[in-house]
Structure 1
Amino acid sequence: MTRSDVYEEGARPDGAAPRRSGPPDGGRPEGPDAPEGGDGAGRPRGGRARRALRWSATTLAVLILGTAGAGYLYYDHLNDNLVKGERSSGDSKAERSAPNAAGQTPLNILLIGSDSRASDANVALGGGKDNRGNPPLGDVQMLIHLAADRRSAAVVSIPRDTRVDIPRCTDPDTGTAYPATNDIINTSLARGGPGCTLATWENLTGVYVDHWMTIDFAGVVRMADAVGGVEVCVRQNVWDRALPGVPGGSGLKLRAGRTKVEGEQALQWLRTRHAWGSDILRTRAQRMYMNSMIRTLRGQNVFTDTGRLTDLAEAATKSLQVSEEIGSVKKLYDLGMQLRTVPPDRITMTTLPTVPDPQNANHLLPAGDDAEQVWSLLRDDVPFDDKGGTDTKNPGNGKASREQRTADPSAPDDEIGVLVRNATRSATEGPVSGRASAIAQELAAKGFTRAAPDTSAAGAEERTVVRYPADDLKGDAQRVAKSLGIPVSSVRRSAGVSGVTVVVGADWREGGTYREPEPPKAGDLPDDADALSADEKGACMDVYAPYRW
């Protein structure tokens, strides 16, 4: 099993103080056999050299299927290559987005890079042979969001050591049930497989995730070999090597300017950390590589080059595991064709804004309002860029339709039973004491005399919602929501409640009337999301001074 990296020692190339997730002395050794610090769990680091490659190759697997979709010609053989699994194996309350005026809905795909050492190939590539029997960790996790109108796409990654709520999950293979917990997000994969990681993302973001895909060490290498060279750029000569007091290094050695890297050199680029100055800057280098790879694949004539197409399709289907509802080459082809429609200048790659975890210096937390701003854009299907202009054909994307706004009649207010739950705890703030009682009293004053607080433990939800269990209570739920100022788009059917239930989220910590947050605007990303567009051909990495030559 693996744990968090420490961020780079010394000053960053931009002059800012380096971000760290480890002890201030920066003295922990690196490598597969390095002892683990931080929380004292004693789990070895291992596999650092391959995690960077996993990050890129996981996304690449989807991109290849979009570019080389005609792999369905080898349908039977390629179908046999695919390994499938259950879409969700955890408790989740996320619901599909309402269709826009044209009947379109967004598409969300979770990409997971696993550190599994369940095979000789993975042990050889990832190190840590003593951990062969350990459950895998999901060290790389990225969500691809394809807009409902299929005109833009967004990618959000979460650092693997970000602490989140992980729901109750059941392993579909063993039947083992894991209770809900609060832990770093990469452990979710070991608590019920990719379906548990998917449920964790849904509860964290409020976004319904349609599919998952995973890839392991051996799959990453197979994909990297199939893709060929990708152009990268550095502003100064770079040599990422061990220095006195700073062990490790990828071995990357390039001259300033643009270079086409492939094979071992591509791996060196993806795993380089010291030469950039921090782990955060390493993710930027990886995203630059990904963007360059997108442009490279789009420029290749794969549709008429049968040999090239075969290599790419073979590598992709042997490298991926997928959720069962997309478990055929035809379905992956259809998915890829949708992804292919988005031009590079409308693909935006970001990282979730995070802050240090006060409970553990090795961990991170979602950065409050900045993180919620990112999730808001995804939930409301708002582009991460501002290049789309006004959509005059499909106004009100993601908004409730007229039919949704005119529900069944409700019962008299004093006959509607309402339970109020306090879910005001967030990643950065504790719950507001007595919040459920306060809103129950507010409802009673409005005539809902059967409203009562839920006395169970406070939960955590970013947004306030009203849930109901069956269609005959939909009108009642909407009536309750209207009385509190909660929008109809936040009224949802859920099997997790027995009656009309108001869940007071972290966005409503005070006051008796809900004030809906301002809708997000296209391109309104926080600065610390570090957005990169796939068409940024001029992007280059600065080299931290000790690693120049």
Structure 2
Amino acid sequence: MRQSNVRGERQRHAAVPEPRDPGGDDSPPEGEGPAPDGAGHRRGGERRPKRSRGVRILRWTALTLAVLVLGAAGAGYLYYQHLNGNLRKEELDLGDSKIGKPEPNAAGQTPLNILLIGSDSRNSAENVKLGGAKQDADRKPLADVQMLVHVSADRSNMSVVSIPRDTRVTIPQCTDPKTDEVYPKTEAAINQSLQHGGPGCTVAAWKELTGVYIDHFMMIDFSGVVSMADAVGGVPVCVRDNVYSHDSKGHGSGLRLTKGTHSVKGVQALQWLRTRYGFEDNTDIGRAKAQHMYMTSMIRQLKAGTKLSDPGKLMDLAEAATNALTVDRGLGTVKHLYDLGNDLKRVPTKRTTMVTMPWEYGGGGEYVKPKPGEAEQTFSLLRNDIAMDGKDKKKPDHTPAPTAPKGELPVVVQNGTSSTVLGPVSGRAGVITSELARLGYAKATASTVLTSQADTTVRYPAEAQQGDALAVAKALKLPKSAVKSSKSVQDVTLVVGNDWREGTVYPKPAKEDDGKTPESADALNGEDKGACMKVNPQYTF
């Protein structure tokens, strides 16, 4: 499939047709693109004071409500099953990644990573009407919106990373679970990964690109966005000038807003989320900014609780959400979604950060690719559970003394270079074990266990051995951030990651990781109520 020009080529699906022009679309051809005991007397015969009428009414009201709840329990269960039946479920990961779930922190907590996918599927008359491009009705959908939501292990902060849809990546080999068709490894735009067996292949592509373990995915299509936006009841967004996303060539979503703040819902919300022609320089990057603004605004609105206090509106939201979503099987019940919602609810809005993966043009502007150094710096923050707002509490900078001389300290060395894309580097554990022996660690041994890990780490089993792990890291010139506590190891354990695939000298990053998000990631804080989209002068009125 030919790649689209991010700067100028017509967008696959950044547009919603205008209500008066249902034939117009912004997609090029070829498929591109929520007891008292009741006694009347006290002990010893003392009579209780007479209850007031208000207290009696209150008590009977409570009893009546209890009876109603018990009587409705069966219907409630049936409704719960109905909502579960609305959800569509698919496999989480169709690739063969060896990336494991992150180690729990000292409090036994682990981070949570959820991939959000916006599909451009035209698999229904409604989706064709909303998305235009009738010629694409029979083609497989593309994953045109992709955001990785990272919730910190202690649930104190959340980071959301978007990636441009035309980012050229390696899509690993995936097997379609429904047809058993095998899609070979390929270099292509990441949005095409959805066509290689479903959302599980998009998850696999993200894991290979970022080295981040992904717990769940949630996917939504055009009509799902409209129904969810209606159920939410409108989300405030802002434009700096009048905007009309439409031109004589049929480009544009049809979004038409006057300068200022507007509450968008339904089709208009979908138009906002799909607009490329009209914002800034008519690229997917500007569209990602608009999506971030919408999401932060919606989070603030839902956290305010206005929707959750009205039972009718809450049911509407539950119905819309379960009908709109395709999720992995581990997230495939309303209870799991409810538990996830509670996790997300714990994160303060002011500690929510939206960013776009640092990128640069490739292929003469035909596609984008991760920006060397800065994209990896962004992914490293996710892997190491570091908040992108830079407000994590600084740990005391001290180095505990080792518990044993290095010649008597057992150190296990493990090869973590297994990868479905790059392939494992044979003998890495042995090479680094020999280097440790040369440095005086006579009891270092190589493990035969092969795993996949992006970052080289030194793990220690008990707090007392932190000094031992730091000493090993210092000997190998590894950063202090590589040292982590772990309840899954019995000795100090060095895992040689994919960042150190050759040699005995650890390759220092081009820029020392200072724990900050690169400026090029264009971060937006969840409490930024003053965010307002710039309008391209060619699309104003």
For the residue of structure 2 that corresponds to 1:154, the secondary structure is strand
> Which residue of 2 is the match for residue 340 of structure 1?
345
Mapping 1:152-163, distance limit 5 Å: 152-163=157-168
Q: Distance in 1 between matches of 2:126 and 2:375?
A: 37
Cα pair distance change 1:379/1:2, threshold 3 Å:
same
> Which residue of 1 is the match for residue 19 of structure 2?
none
> Does the 8 Å CA contact 1:346/1:385 hold for their aligned counterparts?
yes
1:426-452 Cα offsets, whole Å, 9 max, x none, are 9xxxxx9xx99997996897799999x
> Which residue of 1 is the match for residue 13 of structure 2?
none
1:541 counterpart letter in structure 2: M
Q: Say which of 259, 262, 266 aligns to 2:262.
A: 259
> Which residue of 1 is the match for residue 7 of structure 2?
7
> Which residue of 2 is the match for residue 512 of structure 1?
505
Mapping 1:391-410, distance limit 5 Å: none
Q: Distance in 2 between matches of 1:327 and 1:337?
A: 16
For the residue of structure 2 that corresponds to 1:165, the secondary structure is strand
For the residue of structure 2 that corresponds to 1:368, the secondary structure is coil
Number of aligned residue pairs: give it.
454
Note the C-alpha offset of 1:189: 1.7
2:166 counterpart letter in structure 1: D
Q: Distance in 2 between matches of 1:72 and 1:303?
A: 20
TM-score, L = length of structure 2: 0.71
For the residue of structure 2 that corresponds to 1:307, the secondary structure is helix
For the residue of structure 1 that corresponds to 2:365, the secondary structure is strand
The yes-or-no answer on 1:249 pairing with 2:243 is no
Q: Distance in 2 between matches of 1:150 and 1:502?
A: 27
Mapping 1:3-402, distance limit 5 Å: 4=4, 6-7=6-7, 31=25, 34-35=28-29, 43-45=30-32, 74-242=79-247, 247-276=250-279, 277-279=281-283, 280-358=285-363, 361-390=365-394
The yes-or-no answer on 1:541 pairing with 2:533 is yes
TM-score, L = length of structure 1: 0.70
2:388 counterpart letter in structure 1: F
Note the C-alpha offset of 1:320: 0.5
Note the C-alpha offset of 1:76: 1.7
Q: Distance in 2 between matches of 1:201 and 1:74?
A: 35
1:412-465 Cα offsets, whole Å, 9 max, x none, are x9xx9x989798x99xxxxx9xx99997996897799999xxxxxxxx985457
Note the C-alpha offset of 1:273: 2.5
> Does the 8 Å CA contact 2:233/2:265 hold for their aligned counterparts?
yes
Q: Distance in 2 between matches of 1:420 and 1:291?
A: 37
1:316-336 Cα offsets, whole Å, 9 max, x none, are 000101111121101110110
1:77 counterpart letter in structure 2: H
Q: Distance in 1 between matches of 2:433 and 2:418?
A: 11
Q: Distance in 1 between matches of 2:505 and 2:518?
A: 29
Note the C-alpha offset of 1:384: 0.8
Q: Distance in 1 between matches of 2:313 and 2:269?
A: 19
Q: Distance in 2 between matches of 1:285 and 1:97?
A: 32
Cα pair distance change 1:311/1:272, threshold 3 Å:
same
Q: Say which of 508, 517, 523 aligns to 1:531.
A: 523
2:168 counterpart letter in structure 1: R
Cα pair distance change 1:485/1:81, threshold 3 Å:
same
2:199 counterpart letter in structure 1: P
> Does the 8 Å CA contact 2:5/2:365 hold for their aligned counterparts?
no
1:527 counterpart letter in structure 2: E
Q: Distance in 2 between matches of 1:289 and 1:304?
A: 22
Q: Distance in 1 between matches of 2:83 and 2:316?
A: 11
Cα pair distance change 1:112/1:547, threshold 3 Å:
closer
Q: Distance in 1 between matches of 2:90 and 2:259?
A: 45
> Which residue of 1 is the match for residue 68 of structure 2?
none
Q: Distance in 2 between matches of 1:219 and 1:273?
A: 20
Cα pair distance change 1:519/1:149, threshold 3 Å:
farther
Note the C-alpha offset of 1:267: 3.2
Cα pair distance change 1:357/1:422, threshold 3 Å:
farther
1:261-306 Cα offsets, whole Å, 9 max, x none, are 3333333333333322322222212211222222222234233311
> Does the 8 Å CA contact 2:6/2:367 hold for their aligned counterparts?
no
1:367 counterpart letter in structure 2: K
Q: Distance in 2 between matches of 1:110 and 1:530?
A: 20
Note the C-alpha offset of 1:73: 9.5
> Does the 8 Å CA contact 1:465/1:491 hold for their aligned counterparts?
no
Note the C-alpha offset of 1:184: 1.8
- Unmatched 5+ stretches in structure 2: 10-23, 35-75, 447-451, 460-469
Deviates more, 1:232-241 or 1:482-491: 482-491
Q: Distance in 2 between matches of 1:122 and 1:174?
A: 24
Cα pair distance change 1:160/1:461, threshold 3 Å:
farther
1:100-146 Cα offsets, whole Å, 9 max, x none, are 12111101111111222333333333334444443322221111000
Q: Distance in 2 between matches of 1:166 and 1:479?
A: 39
For the residue of structure 1 that corresponds to 2:237, the secondary structure is strand
1:263 counterpart letter in structure 2: G
Deviates more, 1:306-315 or 1:480-489: 480-489
1:533 counterpart letter in structure 2: N
> Does the 8 Å CA contact 1:8/1:274 hold for their aligned counterparts?
no
Q: Distance in 1 between matches of 2:167 and 2:192?
A: 10
Identity %: 49
Note the C-alpha offset of 1:389: 3.6
Cα pair distance change 1:253/1:139, threshold 3 Å:
closer
